[in-house]
């Protein structure tokens, strides 16, 4: 087997030493996981295609990985024995940046740090997620529909993702969206002024949707085109504080209706402290000084009359806030909005920011509507008290998605992994919380681990369709088996 893999990826591209294999099982997930048999590092799409063909011949599971460092969710760690991890982090080229079309084409190993540095040369930016880890793959982030801080650029649920190149589990390699119009060569398409902007197709089916939120269980994506934006000439992140979440709902609803904000997100005081604090002691002190809730609203002025645009939108949002009893200002509690903006849009080097306070963490996140958020806040608090978990340590992040059509709500539970008792308590509490929020109507759109059974078993017809689709695109079940349709 090793010789066959080396024939595809070269001798240096196949790794089987125990220490490295063990590092690919480091995860925050409590699910049953297995050490892979090999790590392979392809250099291009042709090698990926050869690996998929080999896996079908040998019936070997493949687990695609693009990000580096500890895996936060367990979706890219083998759930079955004798698997081969396909590490795509070495495929890290930024293939194209087009300012006129506001597009970038990236390989799976491109991180936010690398992409932001390249976009800065063109005075461009991309809507990012909340403070990703330093080795986070941009492509993985958008494929898994991790919420964007700027919901106003999401004209589809999966924006900024547009076209992709994918090798399906059966070995078929294809382009999706506008790129599928051919020829199947990006440089030739660019010469013909084709920029992979339109995500729909080919024909009547948007194939790119099959690889989104799929945890690598359909195929392996080897490049993706992403919508970007021109960097604002003026930008301010405004903050408003509230004693309870209910004070924020009217403002958020009205602000989203105007489409005036760029960024808009909500944090409780604990999560805000986790983001800006550098040590456990500092986080503890910040929790005492920060308000119970804050809403952050970004306003930008771009190339055309930036001052006029910025002034008008700022004044209108401040008026909307005052109308519901909130004070929208440039900073609160010795924290400026712009310093928070730098924190949430940058990456975290070293320890992941949610682990600083206690050493590790567990997340529960799902989609809901703004007017139902309160029921989940109360339910999670009641469950935490039942398990004697300190409710003041629960971090909460709420993010509108797709122009406010749905809301991502995320609960973070820090805990000490060196304490077996605390670890077991958090493990059981997360199970209880997951079942409870599902019964209350929370939708696990990214069904990792136990959430797959909780969510997919609620709809037998959809689960049947999902399994049939997997049978079409991955007939031998080689793509990350044990995930999704379990």
Per-run averaged pLDDT (10 residues), the chain, 486 residues: 94 94 89 92 97 97 94 88 96 97 98 97 96 96 96 92 97 96 94 95 92 95 97 97 94 96 97 97 96 97 93 97 96 95 93 96 97 97 97 98 96 97 96 97 94 89 89 95 76
Strands 38-40 and 84-87 come out as: parallel
> Residue 209's pLDDT is what?
94
> Residue 485's pLDDT is what?
59
Residue 290 Ramachandran class (φ > 0 left, ψ -120 to 50 alpha, else beta): beta
Dihedral sign for Cα atoms in the order 24, 35, 9, 64: negative
Residue 123, phi then psi, degrees to nearest 5 = 60, 45
Question: Quick check: 84 and 60 in contact, CB under 8 A?
Answer: yes
Q: Which residue has the tokens 């999670």?
A: 380
Structural domains present in the chain: 2-87 (3.30.43.10), 94-230 (3.30.465.10), 234-345 (3.30.70.3450), 358-439 (3.30.70)
Give the C-alpha separation, 37 to 355, whole Å: 29
Taking the CB of residue 113, how many other CB atoms lie within 10 A of it?
A: 16
Residue 47, phi then psi, degrees to nearest 5 = -65, -35
Dihedral sign for Cα atoms in the order 404, 345, 296, 445: positive
Strands 62-65 and 84-87 come out as: parallel
Question: Quick check: 425 and 388 in contact, CB under 8 A?
Answer: yes
Question: Quick check: 428 and 450 in contact, CB under 8 A?
Answer: no
Q: Which residue has the tokens 């003026």?
A: 234
* Beta bridge partners of residue 84, listed in sequence order: 38, 62
CA dist list (Å): 194 to 4, 138, 154, 187, 329: 38, 22, 22, 9, 44
Q: Where are the beta strands (DSSP E) in 358-463?
A: 360-368, 395-401, 406-415
């Amino acid at each position: 087997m090793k010789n066959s893999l080396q024939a595809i990826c070269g001798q240096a591209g196949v790794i089987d030493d125990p220490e490295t294999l063990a590092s690919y099982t480091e995860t925050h997930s409590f699910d049953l996981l297995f050490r892979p048999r090999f790590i392979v590092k392809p250099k291009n799409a042709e090698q990926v295609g050869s690996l998929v063909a080999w896996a079908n011949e040998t019936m070997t599971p493949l687990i695609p990985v693009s990000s580096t460092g500890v895996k936060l969710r367990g979706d890219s760690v083998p759930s079955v024995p004798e698997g081969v991890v396909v590490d795509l982090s070495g495929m890290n080229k930024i293939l194209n940046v087009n300012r006129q079309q506001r597009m970038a084409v990236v390989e799976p190993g491109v991180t936010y740090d690398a992409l932001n540095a390249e976009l800065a040369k063109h005075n461009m930016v991309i809507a990012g997620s909340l403070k990703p880890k330093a080795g986070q793959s941009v492509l993985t982030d958008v494929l898994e529909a991790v919420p964007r801080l700027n919901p106003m650029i999401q004209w589809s649920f999966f924006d900024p993702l547009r076209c992709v190149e994918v090798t399906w589990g059966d070995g078929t390699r294809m382009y999706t969206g506008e790129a599928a119009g051919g020829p199947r060569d990006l440089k030739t398409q660019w010469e013909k002024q084709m920029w992979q902007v339109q995500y729909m197709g080919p024909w009547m089916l948007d194939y790119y949707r099959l690889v989104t939120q799929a945890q690598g269980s359909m195929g392996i994506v080897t490049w993706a085109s992403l919508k970007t934006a021109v960097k604002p000439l003026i930008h301010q992140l405004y903050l408003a504080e509230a004693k309870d979440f209910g004070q924020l709902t009217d403002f958020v609803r009205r602000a989203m209706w105007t489409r005036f904000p760029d960024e808009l997100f909500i944090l409780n005081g604990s999560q805000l402290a986790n983001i800006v604090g550098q040590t456990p002691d500092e986080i503890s002190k910040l929790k005492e000084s920060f308000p119970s809730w804050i809403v952050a609203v970004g306003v930008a002025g771009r190339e055309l009359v930036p001052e006029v645009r910025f002034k008008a939108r700022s004044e209108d949002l401040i008026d909307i806030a005052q109308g519901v009893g909130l004070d929208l200002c440039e900073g609160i509690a010795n924290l400026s909005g712009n310093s928070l903006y730098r924190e949430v849009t940058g990456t975290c080097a070293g320890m992941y920011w949610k682990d600083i306070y206690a050493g590790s963490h567990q997340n529960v996140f799902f989609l809901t509507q703004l007017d139902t958020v309160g029921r989940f806040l109360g339910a999670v608090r009641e469950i935490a008290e039942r398990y004697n978990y300190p409710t003041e340590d629960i971090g909460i992040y709420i993010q509108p998605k797709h122009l406010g059509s749905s809301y991502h709500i995320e609960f973070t539970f820090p805990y000490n992994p060196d304490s077996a008792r605390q670890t077991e308590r958090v493990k059981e509490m997360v199970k209880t919380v997951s079942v409870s929020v599902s019964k209350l109507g929370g939708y696990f759109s990214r069904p990792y681990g136990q959430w797959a059974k909780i969510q997919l078993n609620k709809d037998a017809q959809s689960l049947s369709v999902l399994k049939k689709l997997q049978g079409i695109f991955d007939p031998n079940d080689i793509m990350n088996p044990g995930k999704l349709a379990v």
